[in-house]
Each structure stands twice: as C-alpha cells, then as structure tokens.
Amino acid sequence: MAKNVMDTLRERGFIKQTVYEDELYKMLGSESVPFYIGFDPTADSLHVGHFMQLIAMKHMQDAGHKPIVLIGGGTGMIGDPSGRTDMRLMMTRETVDYHCECFRKQMSKFIDFEGENGAIMVNNADWLLNLNYIDFLREIGVHFSVNKMLSAECFKSRYERGLSFFEFNYMLMQAYDFLVLFKKYGCRLELGGDDQWSNILAGADLIRRKEQQPAFAMTFTLLTTSDGRKMGKTAKGAVWLDENKTSPYEFYQYWRNVNDADVEKCLKLLTFLPLDEISELCAHKDERINAAKERLAFELTKMVHGEEKAKDAESKAKAAFGGDAENMPTVSVPADTASVCDALVLAGAAKSKSEARRLIEGGGVKIDEDKISDVNAEIPEAAKAKGEFVLHKGKKVHIRVVFTK
C-alpha cells in the first residue's frame, strides 16, 4: 500500500495544524483528493516563501492528489492583512493581471500540469470581481460571526492600530474561494502557511455549514531560522525565484550560508532527498556540516534554475572561497574607478557610499590580500596595473573586479 502523504509531510516537518485529522488521514490514504493553495500576486515573481508551498504541492501530487493553484487576482486587489501591521497598497487590475501571468510561467517549471492528476490553475478574479454585494451578504455573510472573526490571529495585530472594513472582507472572500472550488472541482482541502490558519479554517467551516459536506484545513510550519526570523530575506530584500531578481549564484549563496542549526530543517522541507540521507549529511555539527550546506544549495538551485546553472553557481562559489579568481563571480568597472568605496558600490557589494564606508570602518573589506581601513583609500596601484583585483566583503562575499578599457 502506498504511503499516506500525511505521514510524509509530518516526517519532514511540514504540518502545523489540521482539523478532523483522523477523517482527513483516512481520506488522503484511500482516494485522490482535489486540494488547493492560494497565491496572492503581490509581486511579479515567486519567492522562497512560495517555494515551500510548491514543494508541499509536489508531495501531494506525487501521492496521487490533484493540485489546484489559485491565483488571487481578486483578493490581491484587497490585500491579505495576515501577518501585517499596515495596510497593503491596492493594486490596479492591470498590475494584478501581469503578476498572474508571471506566476503562471514560473509555476509551470515546478508543478506538473499534465496527466490524470495534473494541476490546474484558476484565478479568483473570475468569480470575485462580478459578485453582487447584497447576494454575497445574504448567502455568505450570514454564516460568519463578527465576534469570532475579531478573535482571529490575523486581525488581532491590526485591531488596535486600525483595520479597514475593506480588509475585513478578506476572510469572507478566501472562504468563498474554497466554496467555489468545492462546487466546481470537488476540492475538499485547503493548504497554506500557518499565518493563514484563520482564513483557511473559515473556508472549511463555510462548506460544512452551507453544504453539509466534509471539508478540511491544513497549515504548514513557516520557514523560519532557528532564532525565529522568516527565511528568504537578505540585505538586498527577498530571495526571488526569478533569476533576473536573484541570480542563480546569489540564490546558491543564500542557501550555502544558512546557519548550521537550520540546514537539516531546510533539507527536509525544501528538497526531496531521503530522510536517512539527510540525517547522514547532518550527523556532524563541526566543519563537516558544510558538505550538507553545499548539497542544500545545489539541490535547491538545480530545482529552480536547472542543473547547468546550479553547477555554474557551485563552481563560482568554490572558486570564490578557494581563491580561484578566474571562476568566481566577475563584474566590470570603469577604468577610471579610483576609490575603494566606489568599487564596492559599482561591484554591488554595497548599496551606497555611506554603506561602503561603514563596511570599511568595520574592518570587513580587503582588496586582494590587503585589508582596507581608510574610508578614503584608493585602489592599490598593483591592482590597477594588472587590470583586476579580488574584492572581499567579510568572509562570504568575494568578487573578481575587472577594469574596462
């Protein structure tokens, strides 16, 4: 008998909360279940936070269940208040449509849309944007208690600072999405991050109340570091899956540099490596953990950008740490670049001259093997003479800088 996908998800650390767990476990172990995860198109690329949901979808699909990818073209025009203390900027219909198209292209690389249980993609703008408000209140609003809604975690943090009625409708609309997908596709399970628990549960409750049929909710643990911070952020911002926003090398380096304490969790949640292999990789907590980090970085980069770009990123990373300038990341700067501060900014190692000065003052900058301590320092004559140098920022950023003629 095939393994129940709930066992797989639980073993790998995905599951945070469920309802009617025994009933859900039995259903997932005995039939193909249509399920959905929603993605609000608030940017023109998926990021690391979305990536974890795609991996969960793949586990479900491999176990014979049918994924429904819901693009929030309608709810995205309101914005989800979950996990926020401010109100999201409202997007135009044109912006939302463009983001939806970008998502569609990216997801096709990760989710199988062919075959008997091939994924389908829907846009809730198709049913939300033309809703009759009075009918919606009579048919859907009657099933919701304002007191219960205000006690939901997603509203608590906003309640004292001010929660607009505009955003207050988000829970109803997400619940309505689940109802529509239940009626149209037989969808009986919604999955999502644990910060979505209240919204997901509202949809399952709505189906049980209105349709008198079983519906289920399951949330996943959030992808956080060992000290509780959300993963997927760098000094430059989010870690995107679009290589034009986060290069394959930057993507590789992000995972290569995760904390030792987070490597095993990331391997379990974000790769498909067998658990016994992961345990073996992470058995040592000394410098040998670096092999696990390299495997994590390679597997994820291969999954997102393909094996060729993963190998290229891996070789560049090893070159940077091994001093092989020919194969490390290379940038060109004008031949008349004089100051180290200018070189840091032009090479992308600092966002501004003020940040460059802070890096130098902190003792984190070297040109080749020369440590730079003067914020007004100029690039050494030896570096200018050979037409290139290696710029080191801290222990983890190493860039070959070449002067253009």
Phi, psi of 273 (to 5 degrees): -65, 145
| Fold of the domain spanning 5-220 | Rossmann fold (3.40.50)
Looking at residue 392, its amino acid is H
| Residue limits of CATH 1.10.240.10 in the chain | 233-322
Is pLDDT of 80 > 60? no
Burial 78-97 (b: 16+ CB within 10 A, else e): bbbbbeeeebbeebeeebbe
| Token output for 71 | 């693009």
Give the C-alpha separation, 405 to 395, whole Å: 30
Tens of pLDDT along 207-232? 999 999 999 999 999 998 888 888 88
Which has the minimum average pLDDT: 96-110, 151-165, 185-199, 304-318?
151-165
Q: Is 367 helix (H, G, I), strand (E, B) or coil?
A: strand
Whether the CB-CB separation of 172 and 99 falls below 8 Å is answered with no
pLDDT band at 84 (very low <50, low <70, confident <90, very high): very low
Give the C-alpha separation, 2 to 281, whole Å: 27
Phi, psi of 129 (to 5 degrees): -70, -20
Tens of pLDDT along 138-193? 999 888 888 777 777 666 666 666 777 777 788 899 999 999 999 999 999 999 99
Q: What is the 3-state secondary structure (H, E, C) of 140-197?
A: CHHHCCHHHHHCCHHHHHHHCCCCCHHHHCHHHHHHHHHHHHHHHHCCCEEEEEHHHH
| Fold of the domain spanning 233-322 | Tyrosyl-Transfer RNA Synthetase (1.10.240)
| Residue limits of CATH 3.40.50.620 in the chain | 5-220
Average pLDDT of the chain to the nearest whole number? 86
Q: What is the pTM (predicted TM-score) of this model? A: 0.78
The CATH class for the domain spanning 330-404 reads: alpha beta
pLDDT at 282: 94
Give the C-alpha separation, 215 to 201, whole Å: 9
| Residue limits of CATH 3.10.290.10 in the chain | 330-404
In sequence order, the β-bridge partners of residue 224 are 230
pLDDT at 175: 94
- Give 102 or 272, the one with higher predicted confidence: 272
pLDDT at 112: 87
Is pLDDT of 399 > 80? yes
Is pLDDT of 83 > 60? no
Mean pLDDT of 269-281: 96
pLDDT band at 233 (very low <50, low <70, confident <90, very high): low
